[in-house]
Structure 1
């Protein structure tokens, strides 16, 4: 019985992902390949959710998230940050490539803006957008806020919070939600304190939620369940963070 249910779930996930359409787009001269999802029954405001993947790039998880949001009436777009031919093939490469964008936030923001334009081109209202991201993508969601992109909210799932200390804390107009594993070893306390100071200096409307016994990548089933590795799936944190995210969306798009 369990095997049948598992097969059914896999079929349903495959069908949901099949609704996503591959989209080629560009940032400057760099060709990018993302995925757009158009809801069968869009919400009245035609809100859109831009999804920024973790450091290995677009994966099954980000496509599943897009499909779940499509079912709720949101337009979605899964962004390609690295570009065609540049996807990492190992965690070491992913660390190097994601580190490059973290060290060049203006380029990261340009790649995010290109994906936002693709999301809007798919049908989403340009004034009703939320950016979410996972791990490296969570850092990108915060960069969308720091860069003053036209978005109503940003959400970081187990993302990096730090930025170069030489960057001045500017004002942040968009709402910010950070969903954080309380035991995440990859986000040092100094980054947490600097981020919270940044939000206060920016007079931002921000929230930060901690999840007990959760480490990095707590929404990623592919991460396994061994917390000692520093990155692991946590079912309770995954479900709770999704619920907090949905409440955040309802607040933003309730008017």
Structure 2
């Protein structure tokens, strides 16, 4: 009986992973490889979702969410921000790579746009697109809004919100949803206030939802449960934020 259950679980895992198709593209000489999740039954609008992964690159969280969104009918693409030969092996390397793109935000925006092009090429309706991101990817989602990419909205899960004070604030057209851990001490109150002031100045249509007892990376199951480390999984916050994202999609894609 145990062997049968194991076989069934492996089969389910295979089906889920089989939905993910590697897609090669490039940024000049830099080779990139993202993942496409194509639904068996596409929603009538052919809505698409671009996923921007956390600082370790394309990992389990991004893969699982791509598959889950595809099951709901969304054409989904997981972006490769770093490149096929630049996969971080540890947090130190991830910090260096993510730090580069946070500082050189125009390069980050370019990599996001290249991934967005792949999503549309895969069949997503260019007039029905959302960008979501986690941690470092959440910062990228905000950068996509700042760049006024042609998308309906962006969702940042426990992402960074900072912006260099010298940057000009332009009107922001995509709708913005920020899903934030109420106890996330990596994002300072000053950073939050500056972001909210930026959204007001940009006349953005924005929302920010706080989740109790949640710190950074609260959607990541592999983040552990020790809040004192600053990163920890919170099942309730993860489920609530996922539902908030789906409700946001209903709103932005209905218009």
Verify same fold: TM over 0.5: yes
Aligned-pair CA distance for 1:13: 3.9
Aligned-pair CA distance for 1:2: 11
Q: For 1:191 and 1:2, how far apart are their aligned partners in 2?
A: 51
2:51 counterpart residue number = 51
Tell whether 2:136 aligns with 1:128. no
Residues 9 and 113 of structure 1, relative CA distance in 2, 3 Å threshold: same
1:145 counterpart residue number = 145
Flag structure 2 segments of 5+ consecutive residues without an equivalent. Answer: none
The count of residues paired between Structure 1 and Structure 2 equals 255
1:161 counterpart residue number = 161
Q: For 1:51 and 1:5, how far apart are their aligned partners in 2?
A: 32
1:99 counterpart residue number = 99
Task: State the 4+ residue runs in structure 1 displaced beyond 2 angstroms.
Answer: 1-14
Q: For 2:3 and 2:164, how far apart are their aligned partners in 1?
A: 49
Over the aligned positions, Cα root-mean-square deviation in angstroms equals 1.8
Q: For 1:206 and 1:112, how far apart are their aligned partners in 2?
A: 21
Q: For 2:212 and 2:219, how far apart are their aligned partners in 1?
A: 14
Q: For 2:251 and 2:99, how far apart are their aligned partners in 1?
A: 33
Q: For 1:2 and 1:78, how far apart are their aligned partners in 2?
A: 34
* Higher deviation after alignment, 129-138 or 17-26: 17-26
Task: Give the alignment's TM-score, normalised by structure 2.
Answer: 0.96
1:238 counterpart residue number = 238
1:29 counterpart residue number = 29
Q: For 2:251 and 2:160, how far apart are their aligned partners in 1?
A: 25
Residues 124 and 68 of structure 1, relative CA distance in 2, 3 Å threshold: same
Aligned-pair CA distance for 1:17: 2.1
Flag structure 1 segments of 5+ consecutive residues without an equivalent. Answer: none
Q: Deviations over 1:205-247 (max 9, x none)?
A: 0000000000000000010111011000000000000010000
Aligned-pair CA distance for 1:102: 0.3
Residues 228 and 14 of structure 1, relative CA distance in 2, 3 Å threshold: farther
